[in-house]
Structure 1
Amino acid sequence: MEWLVWAAVVGNAERVTHVFLPLDDRGVDGIVRRVDDEAMCAVQVKGRAVLTHKGIEVVVNRNALDDPHVTFVMAYLDPSTVRLADAVYVMDADTVLTLGSHPRRAARPEVGLFLPYPPHPGTKSWPYSCALSELSTRLFPSAGVPTRAALPAPLPPVPVPPPEKKRLGHLAELEVMRLLGAPATLNTFKSFPDVEEVEYLVRHRPTGAIRGVQVKCMIVADAHTEGEIAFSGPAFVASPNVDFVILAWRRDHNAFDDNAWLIPAIDVPHLTRTDIPTAHIELRVAIGKGSRFDRYRVPRSRVAATIEARLGGTQL
């Protein structure tokens, strides 16, 4: 649904407008930027493909509403045409809190919204509705529903830091992107939306060959502590054209270890079970007794060269 919203924003804009997508999901689905005046709007998209009692029911994580600088776009996807319907709702976090309900029995704090569809004049949510073709204009403060009288601005909330595993996983992806960005012969592409087992595609410019890359990060106390990575068994495909790139974050160094592992996905079923909901690979940074994973160990600095060799037909 997000892609359809971005297409509507860009396609209907009277002024040149671009959309920027996040490398990591931290509560903003995209930033819309108007080129001529550099107006920008952080957007979170919510939507449904089912109408309930002639409306759409939207649930927003309560923590997402602590950021007053995010604009929420609520849309209805017509399942019969797989297209967005002609009207959408656009509102800020304060409006979501004002119009929404606060279920007490929810597993986590959340706010629920019922939005009539199509929008009805006279309802509380009507001022925040607009035609899909007007969405690009309504996103910016210079247009749309008049802003309310400003109250004294409170101190900005301190964002809740992401869990360590998620934060370090993101740093691992950035590190692999840095390594792959060094050779002029490689061109790296990010999947949108994120796909479970193929996050990136790497294209070898001289030959046109392409391989998929899935980045994994294991966290260990030191070189002698065993760590593991996990992946979805049902989503896993033993492809000969995909590599698992595994980095190890060492707490004793507060940095990635100089070792990495590049495991072709086609080899993974021979190394661990994949016919279970969550599959695991266990690794140790220190080189000791012979391990079946030693053949996949490479210096972290050689990750790009190893993938480049595989793309060029020289298996490493």
Structure 2
Amino acid sequence: MIDIHKLKAFVAVVEESNISHAAVRLNMQQPPLTRLIKSLEDELDTALLTRLPRGVEVTEAGKALYQEALTILAHAQAIPKRVQNISKGLEGQINIGFTNSVGLHSFLPSLLRNFREAFPNVSIHLEEDGSSALIDSILNQKNDIVFLRKPAPMSLGLTSLHVLDEPLIVALPNNHPLVEHADPIHLLDLEPYDFVLYRRLAGQDLFDNILASCYQSGFSPNIVQEAPRLTSSLNLIAAGIGLSIVPEAIQDFWNKQIVYKTLEAETPCIAPIYAIYKENLDRIHLKHILKLLMK
């Protein structure tokens, strides 16, 4: 590995074309500078300078080293500032995960916008996945924080912060018999009809939440089709295959051939959102995200 002090000395000599002038620029004596250059040439086993009666001239090999040295020195000079910026949270990256249904809620883009305004030079990495994979990503420190529809298991030692409760609503094909039903629709009124649901493997938290609400109302939904994503279930509803229970925010994304109605039951039908993270992570960016969530 080449000593950075030798590179600084070499750059000065090349730019001054004179060892004596370079020594003055470096605030050192000429003999030690001459020895530094000679040591560098010995280390690389090549001549970097041609000695002239009145100065030096850089060789082709020296020109190549000079360009590389400028890059290395510029990078080395920037390191302290970047390290300080990262320690202050002014640079770096934050990794955020979320399930598909959470990603459709307006709170997430609003949160990211506010974070970006506070830390414009921090990169935001987003990952959409199922809840189990996202929990693993926190345990493995791949993500700093994830947003799910239920809290993390207490046995894992993770912190679950309740962010909000989103109402669940009914999504009906526009030719469905319940379209003319008075609004709101009682959950038990959905019992006779076919259901389309977001596949449990992809949206376990939301799927289980919906089924629990139905069970509490006294019936088990007749699920005729499961969709790989919450948004793709809307295509099936629009096609008349069945109705569904969906988070309220979904109606902002699709209303063609679908009618949305409010839902009521003895127990409120809601889909909560939780922020899951490791409490012991001392991360400035994570702390700011949590501060924004708690406003």
- TM-score computed with the length of structure 1 as normaliser: 0.20
> Larger % of helix: which?
2
Q: Which has the higher contact order (CA 8 A, sep 6+)?
A: 2
The higher radius of gyration belongs to 2
- TM-score computed with the length of structure 2 as normaliser: 0.21
